[in-house]
Amino acid sequence: MRVLSIVCIFLSFLGSTTILAVELKWWQTASFYQIYPRSFKDSDGDGIGDLKGITQELPYLKELGITATWLSPIFTSPMADFGYDVANLTDIDPLFGTMEDFEDLIENAKAIGIKIILDFVPNHTSDECEWFIKSAARDPQYKDFYVWHPGRMVNGVRQPPTNWISLFRGSMWTWHAGRYEYYLHQFHAKQPDLNYRNPKVMEAMKDVFRFWLRRGASGFRVDAVPNVFEIAPDAYGNYPDEPRNPSVNDPEDYMYHEHIYTVNQPETIDIVYQFRQVLEEMDAELGGDERIIMTEAYSPLDILMQYYGNATHEGAQIPFNFELISYLKNESNAYHYDQLINNWLNHMPKGKTANWVMGNHDNSRFPSRLGRDRIDIINMMLLTLPGCSITYMGEEIGMTDVWISWNDTVDPQACQSNPQEYERLTRDPPRTPFQWNDEKFAGFTEGSSTWLPVGENYKMVNVKRERDITRSHLNVYKQLQRLRKEPVFQQGESEIRALNENVLAIKRSLSGHPSYVVVLNINDNVEFLNLNAAFSGLTHQMEYVVVTDRSSIYAGALTYSDSVLLMPKEAIILKTVT
Closest CA to 80 of 138, 137, 121, 23: 121
Which of the following is catalytic: 50, 57, 93, 296?
A: 296
DSSP 15-72: TEEEEEEPPPPGGGG-EEEEE-GGGT--SSSSSS--HHHHHHTHHHHHHHT-SEEEE-
DSSP 534-554: T-SS--SEEEEEE--TT-SS-
**Alpha-carbon span 364 to 335, nearest angstrom:** 23
Instruction: Judge whether 50 counts as a catalytic residue.
Output: no
**Alpha-carbon span 374 to 398, nearest angstrom:** 10
**Alpha-carbon span 152 to 174, nearest angstrom:** 13
- Contact between 254 and 169 under an 8 Å Cβ cutoff? The reply is yes
* Residue 510 CB contacts under 8 Å (≥ 6 apart), including other chains: 487, 488, 491, 492, 493
- Contact between 33 and 64 under an 8 Å Cβ cutoff? The reply is yes
Closest CA to 444 of 167, 42, 78: 42
Which of the following is catalytic: 223, 230, 323, 570?
A: 223
Strand 503-509 with 516-521, pairing: antiparallel
End-to-end CA distance of the chain: 23
- Contact between 454 and 441 under an 8 Å Cβ cutoff? The reply is yes
**Alpha-carbon span 350 to 561, nearest angstrom:** 33
Instruction: Judge whether 296 counts as a catalytic residue.
Output: yes
Closest CA to 188 of 122, 265, 125: 125
**Alpha-carbon span 194 to 183, nearest angstrom:** 10
* Residue 165 CB contacts under 8 Å (≥ 6 apart), including other chains: 171, 172, 251, 252, 253, 254, 256, 257
**Alpha-carbon span 309 to 297, nearest angstrom:** 15
Catalytic residues: 223, 296
